[in-house]
Amino acid sequence: MKQPELFGTNGIRGVPNEDLTTDLAMGIGKAIGTFFNGGKIAIAKDTRISGDMFMLAVASAIMSTGSDVIYVGELPTPGLQYYCKSKGIPGVMITASHNPPQYNGIKAIDKDGTEIDEESEIKIEDIYNGKLFKQASWEKIGTYNYDSTAIGLYMDSIVSMVDEKAIKERRLNVVIDTGNGASYYTSPTILTKLNCHVVSLNANPDGKFSSRNSEPKPENLVDLISVMKTGKFDLGIAHDGDADRCVFIDEKGNYIDGDKSLALIVKHTIQKGDIVVTPVSSSDALENICREKGAKLISTRVGAPIVARAMIDNNASIGGEENGGIIYGKHQFCRDGAMTMALMLNLLTHENKTVSSLLEEIPDYTMAKSSVARKKSWEEIKKLLMENFSGKKMDFTDGVKIFDEDGWTLIRPSGTEKIIRIFSESPSKSLAEEYNKTYMDFLANL
């Protein structure tokens, strides 16, 4: 099957004025406008300093095709997606999500609020490569308008999906680190609406992400972890640059891996007969939980749009990835950091237990992650893996998943960077780390 060349796992990304130029942005903008063929197209951006440049380039290109552009502001990607779903119009998000500040990107959103599928991405690329752009006559060129209601619409929708009254009565003590990204206003405000006692870190827009790196990994959350170790708070929360992901710190200051927070939220959200969707990179803990609850688990290739499409096709209630990206189908079919945050508040309120005690109920698996630079083509790497580890069971749903005696390792090319990602899991921490090192060393020496 043909794969998109410009669109990666989550849109087009690159370094401004290097591999992501305004010429490329305008060409893609024209292709998007041509593909959606008239009407209105919403556009938003995160806080990156190159956001205005790319937003204006894409917007002007879309208008040249005869579509009207509605700028809805600086807000999380799921905020734009909810607006698109609510209004029934497509959209474009200018973001590089968790990538460092020197990156930016372009993500296309469908009329139902989901990220466009691969087939649509290929059609947009074909329009771009063939310069098959629609060009409106002077009197039919699109207009540019601003709609300030998107942020309020999004925040109110999040609050409406949880037990607002109970959470307000619980009055949880929460620390949130928005990392100078797109959630700097929305997530602290949602917490305030839910009557939490809120301490905010880095809740100011800063396109250089001066306070910390955008990806919410433990090494980037030193300040948040330090505050949580004071023992004065119930929950620590952190987002990435565009806030489609959310990770947590427990009341003792311990970082909670994304696979564990996903398992915890799934366990306290699903009922018998429900369907859960997750990529092959997710923890086996989810399979155990679904079996225990009488729910069905469906595994897919890695990528939030792929998970979302599978959820729609199978009428799944919840899904997500091990990186803190949870998709709550009852709200919208996309990763949503604020919705994930609200679901965690909801279960803490109803269970009336600490986060650490709730995590003790989750099947205990350890996941080790690493990456190496991709020096050869993926097809060459895949062939070498199959030849050198031919005696082991393998799965090729996405990349190569190799099963060892008491665990597994998934090896796949990143859709956003020129690296190979390596995920290893086992009930034994030492084995997970051993498996990860074995395959990392093999790939590094190719």
- Residue 420's nearest CA partner among 380, 385, 374, 379 is 374
Are 397 and 300 spatial neighbours (Cβ–Cβ below 8 Å)?
A: yes
Angle at 123 (CA atoms; ends 118, 128), nearest 5 degrees: 120
Query: DSSP per residue over 199-223, as a string?
Result: EEES-S--TT--SS-SS--GGG-HH
Q: For residue 371, which phi and psi values (nearest 5 degrees)? A: -155, 155
Secondary element (H or E) of residue 410: strand 407-413
Query: DSSP per residue over 157-187, as a string?
Result: HHHHTS-HHHHHHH--EEEEE-TTSTTTTHH
Query: DSSP per residue over 135-157, as a string?
Result: ---GGG---EEE-TTHHHHHHHH
Are 75 and 153 spatial neighbours (Cβ–Cβ below 8 Å)?
A: no
Residue length of the chain: 446
Q: What b/e readout covers 38-58, taking b as 16+ CB neighbours within 10 angstroms?
A: eebbbbbbbbbebbebbbbbb
Q: For residue 164, which phi and psi values (nearest 5 degrees)? A: -55, -45
Per the annotation, the verdict on 97 as an active-site residue is yes
- Dist. CA 367–CA 211, nearest whole Å: 28
Are 172 and 234 spatial neighbours (Cβ–Cβ below 8 Å)?
A: yes
- Residue 440's nearest CA partner among 402, 387, 398 is 402
Starting at the edge strand found earlier in the chain, the sheet holding 235-239 runs 197-201, 173-177, 235-239, 246-249, 255-256
Catalytic residue selected from 60, 64, 97, 282: 97
- Dist. CA 278–CA 302, nearest whole Å: 8
Q: For residue 52, which phi and psi values (nearest 5 degrees)? A: -60, -45
Distances (CA, A) of 315 to 143, 271, 304, 321: 37, 14, 16, 18
**What residues are labeled active site?**
97
